[in-house]
Amino acid sequence: MNNQKKYNRIHYLEEKYSPTKVAQGEILSKETRQKMRKELHNNKKHLQVDTILTQVRKADMIKEEVHEIIDYLNFAEACGRCNSEQVICVVVLYCLGQHVYNFQEERTALWSRYDLSWKLYGKVVAYLLSRSRSGRLLSFNQC
C-alpha cells in the first residue's frame, strides 16, 4: 500500500472520530472558535508529552504528574526563546529526578536529543518553583 492511501485512511479516521464536528458553512461565534483553538492547542501539548515520555524509562510513574504540570504551565513565561519540546523535556527530567535516586539529567538521551543546557534547565525549574510557591501550579507539589 502506498503512502498516499495510508495517509487517506488515517485522515478519514481522524475526521470520523474527531471530537468537534462543524458543519460546512456553519458560522461559529468568537468564543466557540477560541475554545476550539485552545482545545486543539492543549491536545498538541499532551501529544508532545506522550511522544517524549515514550523515550523515557519509568515514564509510567510520572506520566500523570507531567500532564497536570503541563496543563498549568505557560511556555512563554517559563522560557520565551525555548521551543515547547525543550520545556516539556525539562519538566520530565525534573520529575524523574524527584523519583529516581542519584539521577543525572545530562546523561539521558533527551538531554542531547533536544539540545538542553544547564542554563535552560535552571531557568525552567526556577519558574516551576516560583509558580509552586505562589500556589498557581496546583499539582507541582506531588511531583
Sign of CA dihedral 120, 109, 69, 42: positive
pTM: 0.69
- The per-residue pLDDT for 140 is 46
- The per-residue pLDDT for 138 is 46
- 3-class secondary-structure state, position 138: helix
- The per-residue pLDDT for 24 is 62
**Residues of the chain where predicted confidence (pLDDT) is lower than 50:** 138-141, 143
* Residue from 114, 93, 88, 89 nearest 104 by CA: 93
* CA-to-CA dists, residue 81 to 27, 72, 111, angstroms: 36, 19, 17
Q: For 77-119, give the DSSP string.
A: HH-TTS-HHHHHHHHHHHHHHHHSTT--GGGSHHHHHTT--HH
Domain residues of the chain, as ranges? 27-142
- The per-residue pLDDT for 141 is 46
